[in-house]
């Protein structure tokens, strides 16, 4: 470690998020102490394959009760019964004295069930089954993105009660809409700026630097790398980046789709192994906007934002200083990467020796 690196290891500092053009404050001295290890298991186990009360299980009535799910055998996509956006919203804008500004927004919201099994998560699904989910995501991106009025397709998963997700059945969501939402929009500006200056994508240059340094890399395969980004905000935040710079879900080769399934499996297993619980997170993809532009600057990637801090029960709260002043974190990205890297690729439930 150089003298400069040593300072950033234990002194309060700010880090710059290249993708969003925002600063994050880091206070490493607050948690630079030996790893305490996992705490007690929480009682998330012992779910059954099928729950008669689950509105996502095959054959069950959906929330609202009018529609029944088909007896699906792998994945299942349907229009969200409680959509936040509708395709038929009339176009209208409001502007008053440059003080009041609003515009209507059209969109389509869908739900993607990852598996008919109520008790599984991506971390426990086979690579073949995760690959089927990858194909569904790609198909949905293509189907929704090809509508001329849809300019962004946000695919995400909200997992765990702590994240406000009420149903444990493995599923994700898709919100496709007219405008490019704030997070991808910030990334669009930053990636464009970088590409115009350097002629290469921001994330391909960043990825080679990270691979070179090898202090924040968590896992990798032939097509994808997962790392704790230098500017991570959430305690165990990670980012999955494709080795080849491409922009869209639909640009992925067959092998890359397998690679994506593999890297998702590796990171979600590590997350579960961290505290030996079904690890909560919000995760999602940032593919290029579907606005008809070439997007040579865009580099396909995925974010995992988990809220847990030092144990299964300690959640990070963004309050006080963070609400009023600046995003802040305690454990450094390097420390989090080291812990995640050293966890097993084998899910803890499968590693347990049967008793008796
Ligand atoms: Zn279910
Ligand atoms: Zn992103």
Ligand nearest to the CA of 69: 1
Q: What is the pLDDT of residue 351?
A: 86
pLDDT at 319 over 90: no
Ligand nearest to the CA of 239: 2
Q: How many angstroms does the Cα of residue 220 sit away from the middle of ligand 1?
A: 32
Q: How many angstroms does the Cα of residue 340 sit away from the middle of ligand 2?
A: 20
How large is the average pLDDT for residues 271-291?
96
Numbers of helices and strands, H then E, in the chain: 8, 14
By the 10 Å C-beta count (0-12 exposed, 13-18 middle, 19+ buried), 97 is classed as exposed
Element (H, E) at 341: helix 333-341
Q: What is the rounded distance in angstroms from the CA atom of residue 177 to the CA atom of residue 170?
A: 24
SS3 state at 184: helix
In this predicted model, what pLDDT tens digit does every residue of 164-218 receive, in sequence order?
Answer: 887 999 999 999 999 999 999 999 999 999 999 999 999 999 999 999 999 999 9
Tally Cβ neighbours within 10 Å of residue 218. Answer: 24
What pTM did the predictor assign?
Answer: 0.94
Q: What is the pLDDT of residue 28?
A: 85
Confirm if 253 and 323 have CB atoms less than 8 A apart: no
How large is the average pLDDT for residues 111-128?
97
Active site residues: 171
How large is the average pLDDT for residues 271-277?
95
Q: How many angstroms does the Cα of residue 227 sit away from the middle of ligand 2?
A: 13
Ligand nearest to the CA of 48: 1
In this predicted model, what pLDDT tens digit does every residue of 328-356 receive, in sequence order?
Answer: 988 899 999 999 999 999 999 998 766 54
The fraction of the chain above a pLDDT of 70, given in percent, is 94
Tally Cβ neighbours within 10 Å of residue 186. Answer: 16
Average pLDDT, the chain: 92
Higher pLDDT, 235 or 313: 235
Distances (CA, A) of 333 to 263, 284, 299, 303: 19, 20, 22, 14
Q: What is the pLDDT of residue 267?
A: 98
In this predicted model, what pLDDT tens digit does every residue of 18-53 receive, in sequence order?
Answer: 999 999 999 887 764 444 444 545 555 568 999 999
Both tokens assigned to 54: 């689950």
| DSSP bridge partners of 17 | 22
């Amino acid at each position: 470690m150089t003298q400069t690196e040593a300072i950033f290891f234990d002194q309060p500092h700010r880090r710059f998020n290249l993708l969003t053009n925002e600063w994050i404050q880091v206070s490493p001295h607050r948690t630079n102490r030996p790893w305490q290890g996992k705490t007690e298991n929480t009682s998330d186990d012992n779910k059954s394959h099928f729950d008669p009360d689950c509105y996502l299980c095959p054959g069950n009535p959906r929330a609202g009760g009018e529609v029944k799910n088909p007896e699906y055998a792998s994945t299942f996509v349907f229009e969200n019964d409680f959509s936040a956006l509708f395709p038929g919203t009339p176009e209208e804008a409001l502007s008053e004295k440059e003080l009041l500004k609003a515009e209507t927004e059209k969109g389509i919201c869908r739900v993607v069930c990852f598996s008919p099994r109520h008790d599984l998560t991506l971390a426990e699904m086979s690579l073949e089954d995760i690959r089927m989910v990858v194909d569904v995501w790609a198909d949905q991106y293509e189907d929704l993105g090809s509508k001329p009025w849809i300019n962004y397709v946000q695919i995400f998963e909200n997992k765990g009660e702590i994240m406000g997700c009420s149903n444990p059945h493995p599923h994700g969501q898709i919100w496709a809409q007219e405008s490019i939402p704030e997070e991808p929009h910030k990334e669009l500006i930053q990636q464009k700026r970088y590409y115009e200056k350097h002629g290469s994508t921001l994330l391909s240059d960043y990825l080679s630097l990270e691979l070179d340094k090898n202090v924040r890399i968590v896992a990798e395969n032939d097509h994808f790398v997962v790392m704790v980004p230098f500017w991570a905000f959430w305690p165990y935040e990670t980012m999955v980046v494709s080795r080849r710079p491409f922009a869209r879900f639909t640009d992925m080769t067959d092998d890359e789709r397998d690679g994506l399934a593999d890297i998702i499996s590796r990171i979600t297993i590590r997350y579960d192994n961290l505290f030996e619980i079904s690890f909560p997170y919000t995760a999602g993809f940032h593919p290029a906007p579907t606005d008809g532009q070439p997007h040579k600057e865009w580099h396909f990637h995925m974010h995992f934002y988990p809220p847990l801090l030092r144990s299964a029960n300690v959640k990070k709260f963004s309050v006080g200083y963070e609400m009023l002043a600046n995003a802040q974190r305690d454990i450094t990205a390097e420390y989090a990467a080291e812990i995640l890297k050293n966890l097993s690729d084998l899910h803890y439930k499968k590693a347990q020796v049967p008793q008796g």
